[in-house]
Amino acid sequence: MTSQTETPTLSSLNFIPYIDDRGLLPDPFQGKVGVYAVFDHDNVLQYIGYSRDVFLSLKQHLVRRPQQCYWLKVQTIDRPSRSVLEGIRDAWIAENGVIPVGNSSDEAAWNQPIDAKAVMTAEEQSRYAAAIDELAQTKTLKQVARRVEAEILETLKSRGVQAEIRFNPKLKEEGLLDLK
């Protein structure tokens, strides 16, 4: 933890495995306010974010971008302060010298629910287009969302993730996937 005035450099923080040897995300950040940097397998900075619950944010990012989430650097703070959090994030981005892809062109993929409609197969697209009413369209979107969910869970399983992953069932009706 840091006082509200300290801003540690990104390079001064140690790398933390995104997924530990038990297949779990780092518990110490549950319910903690802080800034975090996410790195890929090769320690290339992918995204810098801040959150009122770092653990939940990390879980969301893992589901949305599993191939980019291998290492972390985290700085927690004692009291929530958007200006302090943004200041640390901005300092880390400046230190990096380049805006991470997750904070620029790929930002929506890191921060928005997964849109299963964007990866519909040709068959799913025709079934959706041919649906006779809204109920049939909703059914198709749920099926697409379940297929994409299964693919995500399989990817996470292949990474050894043991953490419980539950998607919001209501959003599936819209073809969206986000954690509950």
Q: What is the mean pLDDT of each run of 10 residues along the chain (180 residues)?
A: 67 97 95 97 97 96 97 94 95 96 96 95 94 93 96 96 94 94
pTM score? 0.91
Distance of alpha carbon 173 from the chain centroid: 21
- Closest by CA to 50, choosing from 104, 103, 96, is 103
Query: What tokens appear for 97 in the block?
Result: 């010298």
Q: How far apart are CA 40 and CA 43, in angstroms?
A: 5
Q: Return the CATH class of domain 10-111.
A: alpha beta
Residue 2 has a pLDDT of: 44
Is 111 exposed, middle or buried (CB count within 10 Å of its CB: 0-12, 13-18, 19+)?
middle
Residue 55 has a pLDDT of: 97
Residue 7 has a pLDDT of: 83
Please name the helix (run of DSSP H) or strand (run of DSSP E) that holds residue 35, with its range, or none: strand 34-39
Handedness of CA 29, 50, 45, 107 (dihedral sign): positive
Q: What is the dihedral of CA 155, 158, 163, 165, to 10 degrees?
A: 20
Would you tell me how many other CB atoms lie within 10 Å of the CB of residue 136?
13
Q: How far apart are CA 93 and CA 74, in angstroms?
A: 14
Residue 5 has a pLDDT of: 54
Cα dist from 72 to 28, 47, 60, 172, whole Å: 13, 10, 14, 30
Cβ-contact 35, 74 below 8 angstroms: yes
Please name the helix (run of DSSP H) or strand (run of DSSP E) that holds residue 90, with its range, or none: helix 82-96
Residue 79 has a pLDDT of: 87
For the chain, residues classed under CATH 3.40.1440 are 10-111
Residue 1 has a pLDDT of: 45
